[in-house]
């Protein structure tokens, strides 16, 4: 038997540590490793596979597009590219919207960063705890020091304020600020939702100062949190929205939406990409958006998220202190800093989740998840927490 783990360790960049398993196949909410073991995927490739694995609609759309027109340069346009931009623009509920298509979340945020710079103002207000990606611009907006510091100097002018602190927000945003960048729920920081009214307060502060409100919905958008866009659902129309994770159900595609006057900031030559907006990625994204809409999966994510939360709380497990998040992006808060061990115990039981903080288990199951899977996960979580607490 080939030792794929050893080969991985010898040849892949050592950026991710040791992979948990080598996976071979996926279908719906399930994946199988190279040894044939089955897992229920409650992480969805980090909030990506909203339709589960190998969904027929995505497979069909990608295959058909790949056999029709695979790639064109941005000297040319393609129909799927234009259709995708129209669909994404339609999610904002305001006009005009101009869409820059990318291949990832970090690239969507690079585009947002450049839009902010094009205002002519230099300061960007970001949030403590924020995660916006790993390229140098997005990294400059990311809070975690160990991600940032080895790569300094990063693009300057970024200041961090405490996430969710209304006073700090009001104090930081003045006429020298180009943009305020905020996640509706800080996923990487352990699924921490912004307090009620925080995005609206950011909108008001930006309006008063003539600054752009930039909402990073790379993780929260497109149904993950039970809304197409959390910002818009909360009554806030941002100037910039960045999207990626769920958009292609695993096919790499992202987008930076510029709304209102911000839509005019990019002009010919000010930004570019070879692959961004390619027809195959656009076809994948259109299939995802159609399926989410036609199957009512966005609204259903709210009910399913509540069911999951209820099932976890109903365990009455003394090792679990609460569940936070929105829709099907949930952080289960543990009483002790044992989340990595609990996550391993879950994997041993056939469940994929992750531990973004020492005391938080994050789940982001496919939006097609069945109710009995939500309940079964809660039971497995209860057992895993008990096992780790008893061992400790």
Ligand X SMILES: *Cc1c(COP(=O)(O)O)cnc(C)c1O
Positions annotated as catalytic residues are: 131, 216, 245
Residue with Cβ nearer ligand X (131 or 266)? 131
User: Least distance to ligand X from the beta carbon of 245, Å?
Assistant: 6
Q: How far apart are CA 184 and CA 186, in angstroms?
A: 7
The correct pick among 106, 189, 291, 317 for binding ligand X (CB under 6 A) is 106
Cβ-proximal residues to 167 (8 Å cutoff; 6+ apart), any chain: none
Q: Are 22 and 28 in contact (CB under 8 A)?
A: no
* Per-residue tokens: 17: 């540590």
User: Least distance to ligand X from the beta carbon of 128, Å?
Assistant: 14
Indicate the residue whose CB is closest to ligand X: 105
Q: How far apart are CA 45 and CA 353, in angstroms?
A: 9
Residue with Cβ nearer ligand X (254 or 382)? 254
Based on the shown chain and the rule CB under 6 A, indicate whether residue 277 belongs to the binding site for ligand X. Answer: no
* Per-residue tokens: 75: 């000297």
User: Least distance to ligand X from the beta carbon of 239, Å?
Assistant: 17
Q: Could you give the 3-state DSSP secondary structure of residue 331?
A: strand
The correct pick among 201, 218, 312, 352 for binding ligand X (CB under 6 A) is 218
* Per-residue tokens: 57: 């609609």
In the region spanning residues 176 to 195, those forming contacts with ligand X, defined by CB under 6 A, are 183, 187-188
Based on the shown chain and the rule CB under 6 A, indicate whether residue 244 belongs to the binding site for ligand X. Answer: yes
Question: If we measure between CA atoms, which residue out of 104, 244, 130 comes closest to residue 184?
Answer: 130
> Tokens 């656009």 identify what position?
282
User: Least distance to ligand X from the beta carbon of 131, Å?
Assistant: 5
Residue with Cβ nearer ligand X (187 or 365)? 187
Q: Where are the alpha helices (DSSP H) in 12-135?
A: 44-47, 56-66, 79-89, 105-118
The correct pick among 30, 53, 123, 132 for binding ligand X (CB under 6 A) is 132
Report in angstroms the alpha-carbon separations of 171 from 37, 71, 205, 212, 224: 54, 47, 9, 16, 32
Residue with Cβ nearer ligand X (105 or 325)? 105
Q: How far apart are CA 22 and CA 2, in angstroms?
A: 11
In the region spanning residues 26 to 45, those forming contacts with ligand X, defined by CB under 6 A, are none
Of the candidate spans 104-112, 159-167, 278-286, 339-347, the one that interacts with ligand X by CB under 6 A turns out to be 104-112
User: Least distance to ligand X from the beta carbon of 47, Å?
Assistant: 7
Residue with Cβ nearer ligand X (53 or 245)? 245
Q: Which residues make up the interface to ligand X (CB under 6 A)?
A: 104-106, 109, 131-133, 183, 187-188, 216, 218-219, 244-245
């Amino acid at each position: 038997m080939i030792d794929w783990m050893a080969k991985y360790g010898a040849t892949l960049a050592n950026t991710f540590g040791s992979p948990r398993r080598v996976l071979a196949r996926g279908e719906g909410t399930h994946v199988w490793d190279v040894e044939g073991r089955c897992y229920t995927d409650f992480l969805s490739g980090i909030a990506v596979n909203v339709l589960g694995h190998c969904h027929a609609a995505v497979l069909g759309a990608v295959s058909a597009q790949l056999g029709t027109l695979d790639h064109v340069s941005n000297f040319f346009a393609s129909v799927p590219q234009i259709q995708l931009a129209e669909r994404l623009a339609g999610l904002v509920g305001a006009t005009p919207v101009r869409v820059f298509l990318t291949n990832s979340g970090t690239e969507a945020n690079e585009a947002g960063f450049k839009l902010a710079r094009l205002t002519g103002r230099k300061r960007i207000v970001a949030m403590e705890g924020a995660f916006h990606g790993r390229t140098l611009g997005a990294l400059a907006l990311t809070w975690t020091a160990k991600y940032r510091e080895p790569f300094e100097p990063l693009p300057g002018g970024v200041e961090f304020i405490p996430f969710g602190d209304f006073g700090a927000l009001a104090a930081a945003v003045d006429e020298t600020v180009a943009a305020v960048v905020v996640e509706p729920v800080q996923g990487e920081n352990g699924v921490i939702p912004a307090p009620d009214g925080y995005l609206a307060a950011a909108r008001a502060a930006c309006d008063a100062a003539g600054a752009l409100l930039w909402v990073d919905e790379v993780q929260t958008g497109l149904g993950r949190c039970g809304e197409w866009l959390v910002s818009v659902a909360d009554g806030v129309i941002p100037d910039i929205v960045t999207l990626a994770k769920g958009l292609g159900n695993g096919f790499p595609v992202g987008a930076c939406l510029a709304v209102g006057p911000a839509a005019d900031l990019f002009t010919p030559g000010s930004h570019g990409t070879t692959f961004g907006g390619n027809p195959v990625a656009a076809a994948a994204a259109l299939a995802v958006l159609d399926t989410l809409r036609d199957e009512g999966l966005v609204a259903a994510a709210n009910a399913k998220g509540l069911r999951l939360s209820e099932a976890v709380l109903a365990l009455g497990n003394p090792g679990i202190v609460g569940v936070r998040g929105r829709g099907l992006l949930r952080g289960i808060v543990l009483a002790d800093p044992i989340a990595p061990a609990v996550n391993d115990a879950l994997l041993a039981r056939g469940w994929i989740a992750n531990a973004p903080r020492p005391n938080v288990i994050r789940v982001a199951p496919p939006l097609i998840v069945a109710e009995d899977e939500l309940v079964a996960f809660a039971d497995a979580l209860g057992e895993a927490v008990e096992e780790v607490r008893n061992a400790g």
